[in-house]
Structures are given as C-alpha cells and as structure tokens.
Structure 1
Amino acid sequence: MSTPTRQLVDLLEEHVGPLVGTRTPAVGAAIVRGDDAAVLAGGRPHKGQREIADAHTAFETGSLTKTCTALLLAEMVAHGDVSPTDPVETHLPRHAHPRPGKAQITLVDLATHTAGLPRLPRNLFLPAARNWLSDPYARYTREDLYHATARLRPGRFAGTPRYSTFGVGLLGQILADAAGTSYPQLLATRVLHPLGMDGSGAPPAIAPTTPHATGHHRGRPVGHWHFDALAGAGALRSTATDMLCYLRAHLHPEWLPPTLAHAVRDVALPRHRMSGPAGASGTSVALVWNHRHTHGEELLWHTGGTGGFTAFAGFSPTAVAGVAVLANTRPTHRDPVLSAARRLFRSAVFPK
C-alpha cells in the first residue's frame, strides 16, 4: 500500500507530468492534502533547447499576483494601516481623484472587482500597442495610472463583479503609496518573507540568485514581462516550493503571525455573487479569489498568465487541500496546463 505522500506524487505525475516536453518545456507544481505535501518540477529538451527547471525555479504567475495584493490589503487592514472602506481618494493625490459619481470607490471594491472599472485603463492601449504581446505593461507609470483614475466616473457597473486588472493594479499602487514604498518591496516585506516565500518576488525585489524559467509562445522563447504601476496585478514570480508555502498558509492560518492569520481568513470570505452563468453555478468572488461550495467542500481558485507563462492555484479550507501549477508557456484556448491543473485540484479535494 502506498504512503499518503507517494499518493500525492502519483497525482502530480499523472496530471502534470505529461505536460513536460509536449507544448510545455518546464513545469513546477505543488500539492498539499492534510499534513502531506509533494512538489514536482522539471524540464525537457524542446526544439533544440534544454529548459532546466527544479522546485526553486521562478515562473511568472501573471494574475495570481492579484491574490497576493488581496492578502496585502487584508494584512494592512488587520495591522490598522488602511480600512477596507477607505475611498480611493483617501490615498490618492488630488489630481488623481475620480470624478464625482453615484458612488465612491473603496479599497474593498477594488479587491472584489465591484468598483465598476474597465478591465484595463484606456490610456494603456496606445503606448503599449507596439509591445502588446511582448511586454505591454512595462512603461505604464504611476502618473499614467493617476491620469486614468482621474477620468473615472463611478456608477454604471459599480456593485457588480467585473474583472479588472486596472482595479487590482490600482489597489497595489495605493497600498504601496500608503506605506511609503514600492509595491515589490511592500509585498516582499509584509507577505512573501513572513510566509517563507524567499525565492519569490515582484522584480526587482526578488533574490538575485533565483533561477528563472524562460517563457514560451508556440514553442519559441519569449522575453519576460515587466510591470511598473500595475505591478499589483501581475508582477509576481514564484517557484513550486514557494507556492507550497502559499497554499499551506491559506490552509493553516493558525501557523501564522496574528495579522497575517487574520488576513488569510479574511481573503477567503465570499463577498459578491458572480453575475451570468458563473453566478448560476454558485461562484462568488472573495477578495480576488473565485469561491464556490460544491459537494460539501469550499473551493477557492485563481488563474494567471503572461506572454510566456501560465499559472493556477486553488485550495479548499474544508478539505485542507490545495494545488498550484506553474508552466512556461503562454495560455491558449482550451489550455492544457489549466485543464491539467483543474483535474489535479479536483483529485486533491475529492480523493477517490
């Protein structure tokens, strides 16, 4: 009879192992169930190139960063630095205040995608057009973000979940401004280092010795994405080992310092029912995380992607189980990486 940890290794090899060397040069994955955990990482030659990856290789996580920004908000609330109901004007310079509307935008609105903001700032498209597929956010500055915020008029979509990279990126910048530092440094100090995620970071706040996977699109290497003012929406790079720390923190808040423990519990609370088919399926939004109850278990998950990377993380506080999958290939329609990650998540939460 196999041991519990061996069973988890088998699940990783079953669901994630086949990805390596097909369309995905390298993968890092983690799984935890109860007190047991396992990590899988590796790379194979791909079109004449060898991608060497292990459990300490960093991958871009894209929008998984948003879950870290939500945790950062909850931690700063627990610490008394900000309030979730603070209007954004409280933490913005006067020239960046949104125009008067039917409602004020609060920090928690940004974290639950209910502020009525568009998916991306309108003034991002023109300067990013030349690098839209290769590095679209690199030159989007804080002043660009402030200019976009000043043109907002809250009202039309306020109160209804509407996914917004603009909103969570703005939240990350506001939190950094409130703390008087940069988003990468704030995230490292208040979240990543306390969780033991020392190989992770939003550049430049990442250990210089951390090896990085090379992103790929249609089998060809691509450059890394860089973030300026929207770092809170997509800048995090992380490893399989660190994602295991991240999962364990969300499953065992009692292991954490008091403010982080309170924050981890707070981010998992469902806040707003999703509209449309997602809402009909019982999906809600917590602080950034998607949330659903199914077959007696509570599920939270999020995905991420950049020009050369795909990421998934999900956990169940009730089943005390979670998974994370990082891959160095751009997301595609019917993405095999996300499909494998979701199957792995189901297997972790609902063992046969």
Structure 2
Amino acid sequence: MRFRGRRREGRPEEFVAAPGSPAWAAGLLRSLRGAAPGASTVALAVRHGPERALLATGETAWRGGTPADADTRFEIGSLTKTFTGLLLAEMVARGEVAYDDPISRFLPRTARPQLRGSPITLLHLATHTSGLPRLPPGLLRSGAPAWFSNPYAGFSPDALLGALARTRPRAAPGTRVRYSNYGVGLLGELLVRAAHGPGGDIAPLLAERVLDPLGLARTSCAADQPQATGYWHGRARPRWQMATMAGAGAGRSSARDLLTVLDALCAPGAVPPAVPGTLRAALLDVTVPRIALPTAGTRIALVWNIRPRPSHDLYHHSGGTRGFTCFAGFSPQTRVAFAALANTSPSLSGGFIQRAYLELWALAQHGIVHRES
C-alpha cells in the first residue's frame, strides 16, 4: 500500500505501508515526518487494539539510498537499555542473578567504586538510582576528538574497569534518580560476567536470551549489517560504535521488530508457545513499577519510564545517536503500542520525540473511549 506525501524539496514522496496497515496511520507518519527535518527516512509502527500498522517513507540515504520499509534498520541509541532491562529480568527468572545482588559480586576488587552508604545493586543500575554519573570518568576526555561521530568507540573494557575504581557516586544508592548511561552500560557488562565470566560480549547473550526467541531478526548491536545512513545537521555520520557499555546504546532495530517486542510487553500471555518460560516471566517482570516519583507524577520500571493516567499507564523510552532518533511506548490497559524512528540526530527541542509521545498519548486516550463506548 502506498500513500502520497511531500518531500523536503517539494517533490512527491511515497509512504510505503505493509499489507494490512490501516489508512488512518498515514496521517501519523506525516506528522512524524514533519517533526524530523533532515531525515531521509522515517518509519512508524503502531498497534491500536486489533489494528496494527507498519509504514515508512523516504530512502535509506539522501544520495544512493534505497526505498525504506518496515524492515529498515535504524540505530536506536538509549532504547537499547530497554532490551538490557529485559535481559536482566530473564536472568533473574533463571536464578542466575538477583535484583539485590551488589555489583561487587561480579567485579574484581580493583574495579569496585568508592561507595557512599549501602552497596550498588543490579536494580539500582536498572532504575537509574545507583548514584553513578551520566558518563564514566575519563570518557569525555578520551571521546572528545570523536564527540560528534563516535565518542564511545575508543572506550575499552579495561578503561571501564579503571573508571569504576575512580568513581565516587553522586548520591547514596537508592536515594536519587539520576539518568546514567554509565549505570545501564555497566549493567550489561555485569550480566555478561554473570553468564559467561570476564571478557564476554553482550551481543550474543542478548540474541540468545531475548532477540532470537522473540523473532527479532533485524535487532542487534552489529554495526556491519545493512542500515539507514544517519545524519547530523544534514551531514552523514559514521555508524555508531561502542567498544564497551553496548547495553546502554549500541542497538539497531526496525519498525517491525519494535512492534513485535512492544506487542509482547503489552500482552505477554499472547507470545508464541515456543518462547521460553523465563522470557515470558521477564516480559511481565520488566514492566513492574520499581520507583515512584510523586513530585513528577511518574514511575520507573526496569529502565522503562511510566506515566500513570487515570485509567491506564503509558510506558515510554527514547533514544538517539549522532545520526538517529527513536521513540517507543505502549499502554497495556488499552493495547496500544507506538514506535517511531528517524535517521537524523535528536534536536535540541526534542520535537520528534515529543510528537511521538503525544501520538502515543492520543492513541491510548482513543483506546479508552473506544473500550468504554
């Protein structure tokens, strides 16, 4: 199915929809396309009750690209953290780790941070309450020459362990929410150590435990597979590289794969019978609220942000790299899921992410009205 829109240069642009996508979804894609100036492609995945839509517009690059579709891979940046949270829940279901395990259990003595108060646990890392800063000490200095392309590429596993030994948490663990790439990146590294010992890589572990069982064929941390070209202020960016802390932001995914995992989070009981029981348990556990922020009126599950509404909850998270922006969210009570991806860097205004959140909110509100009518 194809819809007509407008390209940036004023030429007609086709919106390509997967078979069965409802016509109303084209309006959502147009809205998102307008919020992503500089992108050569925008992709959308929507679940609204029994209806689902997969659409994309544009090409994978401004020059020499191919038509984008629901299977085009985008860098998803911090949205990778939601998969790391799901991996944590799966390993808890297996009995391999526990949420209250101190991180010192998985670290050599020389790499343990200088703590304030109680130990940092795996749950602290997954809820941004560890007290760790946003980035590891030393990353700003080492990544400065490649800050607008690949600042994490030269930050090695040894550098991460060295940084941990120098780290002084900004607050006592469990006392304050402070968003930390460092914390969730470290969580991914510790889960690998728990499963396979030192020197492992999160990519095969994530594939074995989460991605392959859910059938997410185009989701991985691999930078050497086909994907859209990312843009920053109109300039093509090199592919995002993370030598370590991959669980915080090295992921790639597609609109189709994101809708698959969002559907599973909305209705874990409806996943295929072949999905292992530990992953089924994790799909339920990962959405349990862990932290309440009364002043902000929000909660935090394992990585996911939760916005409680009078009759439903909105789970959401966003991500970005130097050339991509993405958003994903869902509401289990209304069976609404929404994912949007663009191959341009996040704007200072956050326009694309804000537009995607508002569309999720509107769909959930409509779902409530439809359910009650």
> Does the TM-score normalized on the shorter chain lie above 0.5?
yes
CA deviation after TM superposition for structure 1 residue 347, in Å:
2.6
**Structure-to-structure mapping, 1:1-352, within 5 angstroms:** 6=22, 8-19=24-35, 22-44=37-59, 50=65, 52-154=67-169, 156-159=171-174, 160-180=176-196, 181-203=200-222, 211-254=226-269, 255=271, 256-274=275-293, 279-351=294-366
Query: Are 1:8 and 1:38, in contact at CA under 8 Å, matched by a contact in 2?
Result: no
Give per-residue Cα distances to partners, 1:107-145, cap 9 Å, x unaligned: 011000111000001111111110011101111111111
Give per-residue Cα distances to partners, 1:300-343, cap 9 Å, x unaligned: 10010000000100011111111001110000122332132112
1:176 counterpart letter in structure 2: V
Change (3 A) 1:227 1:46: closer
Query: Are 2:79 and 2:249, in contact at CA under 8 Å, matched by a contact in 1?
Result: yes
Residue 16 of structure 2 is matched in structure 1 by none
Aligned residues: 340
Query: Are 1:32 and 1:348, in contact at CA under 8 Å, matched by a contact in 2?
Result: no
Give me the whole-angstrom Cα distance separating, in 2, the residues matched to 1:42 and 1:96. 47
Q: TM-score, normalised by structure 1?
A: 0.90
Query: Are 1:161 and 1:285, in contact at CA under 8 Å, matched by a contact in 2?
Result: no
3-state DSSP of counterpart to 2:339: strand
Give per-residue Cα distances to partners, 1:278-299, cap 9 Å, x unaligned: x523111111111121131111
Query: Are 1:113 and 1:163, in contact at CA under 8 Å, matched by a contact in 2?
Result: yes
Query: Are 1:59 and 1:326, in contact at CA under 8 Å, matched by a contact in 2?
Result: yes
2:332 counterpart letter in structure 1: P
CA deviation after TM superposition for structure 1 residue 99, in Å:
2.9
Give per-residue Cα distances to partners, 1:36-85, cap 9 Å, x unaligned: 21111121598666563111111000000011110100000001111111
CA deviation after TM superposition for structure 1 residue 8, in Å:
5.0
Change (3 A) 1:64 1:100: closer
CA deviation after TM superposition for structure 1 residue 100, in Å:
4.7
Q: TM-score, normalised by structure 2?
A: 0.86
Q: Following superposition, which runs of at least 4 residues in structure 1 exceed 6 angstroms of deviation? A: none
Query: Are 2:44 and 2:255, in contact at CA under 8 Å, matched by a contact in 1?
Result: yes
Give me the whole-angstrom Cα distance separating, in 2, the residues matched to 1:265 and 1:199. 23
Give me the whole-angstrom Cα distance separating, in 2, the residues matched to 1:296 and 1:305. 30
Q: Which runs of 5+ in 1 are unaligned?
A: none
Give me the whole-angstrom Cα distance separating, in 1, the residues matched to 2:128 and 2:90. 19
- Which deviates more from structure 2 when the two are superposed, residues 24-33 or residues 93-102? 93-102
CA deviation after TM superposition for structure 1 residue 348, in Å:
2.0
1:94 counterpart letter in structure 2: R
Query: Are 1:31 and 1:348, in contact at CA under 8 Å, matched by a contact in 2?
Result: no
CA deviation after TM superposition for structure 1 residue 248, in Å:
0.8
CA deviation after TM superposition for structure 1 residue 163, in Å:
0.4
Give me the whole-angstrom Cα distance separating, in 2, the residues matched to 1:131 and 1:298. 39
Give me the whole-angstrom Cα distance separating, in 1, the residues matched to 2:85 and 2:256. 21
3-state DSSP of counterpart to 2:241: coil
Q: Which runs of 5+ in 2 are unaligned?
A: 1-19
- Which deviates more from structure 2 when the two are superposed, residues 8-17 or residues 221-230? 8-17
Give me the whole-angstrom Cα distance separating, in 1, the residues matched to 2:132 and 2:142. 20
CA deviation after TM superposition for structure 1 residue 198, in Å:
0.8
Change (3 A) 1:244 1:315: same
Give me the whole-angstrom Cα distance separating, in 2, the residues matched to 1:23 and 1:157. 42
CA deviation after TM superposition for structure 1 residue 93, in Å:
1.8
